[in-house]
A and B are shown apart, each in its own frame.
Chain A
Amino acid sequence: MDIHYTGKDRILLIINYILLGLFVLAILLPLVYVVLSSFLTPNTLITKGFAITSSDWTLTGYAKILSNSAMIRGFFNAIFYSAAFAFATVLFSVFAAYPLAIEELVGKRSIMIFFLITMFFGGGLIPTYLVIKDLGMLNTVWAIILPGSISVFNIILAKTYFQGLPKELFQAASIDGASELSIFFKIVLPLSKPIIFVLALYAFVGQWNSYFDAMIYLDDPKLFPLQLVLRSILIQNQVQPGMIADAMAQAELKKLSEMIKYSAIVISSLPLIVMYPFFQKYFEKGVMVGSIK
């Protein structure tokens, strides 16, 4: 397709590229600034802005962050929560979606409505909190992993995928005498790697970035995920004890804490930003499948 552009069209195209360029810059500049700042000495940051001489560069911020036990523990907690949450999400979504994708299942409609209702009505913050409290799940990893892992949206996503699989395969297997179990494990699951991957990826990223559930349900700092530790550093300005020597002057402390913030932002965002280009097409696929309903 080769469209002929008139002079007016060319101007529009040029304006388009300029505006897009500005948008891209608006996205990139803050990110680049954070990354650069995380490598600069506190003094440079405050007095000179950016500097090019080698003496202005430092890894102190990273050293402080990486030697901080709360941060490290938060990092590993976040990995654990995210992986466990992704596993639970895939497990519940796939097992619930498969029967619902089968046309003949008796009561399919009612069960679907049963799930769908939760999309429009919710118990709200406090009643949910009270249930989790009554179950004795406060201050346990279960409060982070279980309640959110069952989502109607994911069930619909997986159901749509299963419905798209060729029916003839199941019918043939069924005629050959395969049980429902072996059809599911030997035929359906191997064909469902893409949707499993998409669900897991979304769940992992969502959990990695979340802090609110952990803030509500967890008291023990040992259980805190990364985002909650970050919140105390970035928002509440609580530089963790041990990060800065007591003797240091108040002013130094303030400068250093600014620097620690930049490093903390970079370290916590790095895993996702690094893996995201490789998984971009899966993320897009997830959005598209989700939009079909």
Chain B
Amino acid sequence: MLRNYILYLFLLPSIILTVIFKYVPMYGSIIAFKNFSPRKGILGSEWVGFEHFQRFLSSPNFYDILMNTLKLSAYGLILGFPVPIILALMLNLVRGAKFKKNIQLIVYAPNFISVVVVAGMLFVFLSPAGIVNALVTTFTGKPIAFMTDPAYFRTVYILSGIWQTAGWSSIIYVATLANVDPQLHDAATIDGASLMKRIFHIDLPALKPVMAVLFILAAGGIMSIGYEKAYLMQTALNTPTSEIIATYVYKVGLQSGDYAYSTAIGLFNSVINVFLLIFVNTVVKKLNEGEGLY
């Protein structure tokens, strides 16, 4: 034990930093229940109970913001989750290791482009004078205001998200498929199974455990979608659909300086998140013969 004191010294910096940057803010979130004034500090400010939560729940835009958050994530999950799996199955059918590597190299690439650049590209491509609208105008006669019309925010957000991350997310599935015993496929082929049959009866079952875990994780984070991109894509006109809890927390908290109220909204978000994680895990466990995340 004493011989090991040096090991505890190794751990010390990380423990100190974790306390400062993770645990102190956790403690600090009690300002959600206080009438926080920076002058009085966290301890000195008086308690107000659930006042901030009630204010948020009864605010006129509460319903819209909540539904925007849920819809954006749910659609993103439903549309985005299967794409990497399909892509991996497709890549698995490619013959020639070199050729396959080259395709992978291309489909992974957008993952290395920043959200700022992706959002920037969306603005240039989808502006009324952009390339996409040049095509749209030839067919329909008038351009579509993709970035300012609330009706298009979700579509653009989700499709560009798939464009950027589907390839990268497929890696784990590709690797799982590479570990499938080729004898299984050989045996099935000898028994006369078609390619389609083998995909459904050998490849997909092999992916099932990974799919379950990734699905739970994705669903658990349903309320904490990539607000960095949502914030970048937000324009004054598309807020009816683009205002989600995370962007609202930023605006209320850091732009308007209403710290306590903003913290309460953030906390509300986290609590729902935890419930979703537990709920999805229970459901997946039932469907997946008792195999869940925990």
Contacts and interface: CB of A to CB of B under 8 A. Distances in A.
Nearest to A24: B106
Contacts of B232: 231, 235
B26 A127 contact: yes
A66 interface: no
A169 interface: no
Interface in B1-37: 1, 3-4, 6-8, 10-11, 13-15, 17-18, 20-29, 31
Interface string A252-291: 0000001001101100110011001100100110011001
Interface residues of B, number: 82
Interface string A36-72: 0000000000100100000000000000000000000
B107 interface: yes
A106 B11 contact: no
Interface string B106-133: 1111101111110111011100010100
A129 B260 CA distance: 12
A187 interface: no
Q: What's the dominant secondary structure at chain B's contact region?
A: helix
Contacts of B53: none
Contacts of A231: 116, 120, 232
B250 interface: yes
Contacts of A269: 112-114, 117
B262 interface: yes
Contacts, number: 244
A216 to B, nearest CB: 6
A106 B10 contact: no
A122 B267 CA distance: 9
8 contacts: A1-B185, A16-B93, A20-B103, A24-B103, A99-B8, A123-B24, A123-B27, A209-B112
Interface of A: 1, 3-6, 8-9, 12-13, 16-17, 19-20, 23-24, 26-28, 30-31, 33-34, 46, 49, 91-93, 95-96, 98-100, 102, 104-106, 111, 114-115, 118, 120-131, 135, 146-147, 149-150, 155, 179-181, 184, 205, 208-212, 216, 227, 230-231, 233-235, 258, 261-262, 264-265, 268-269, 272-273, 276-277, 280, 283-284, 287-288, 291
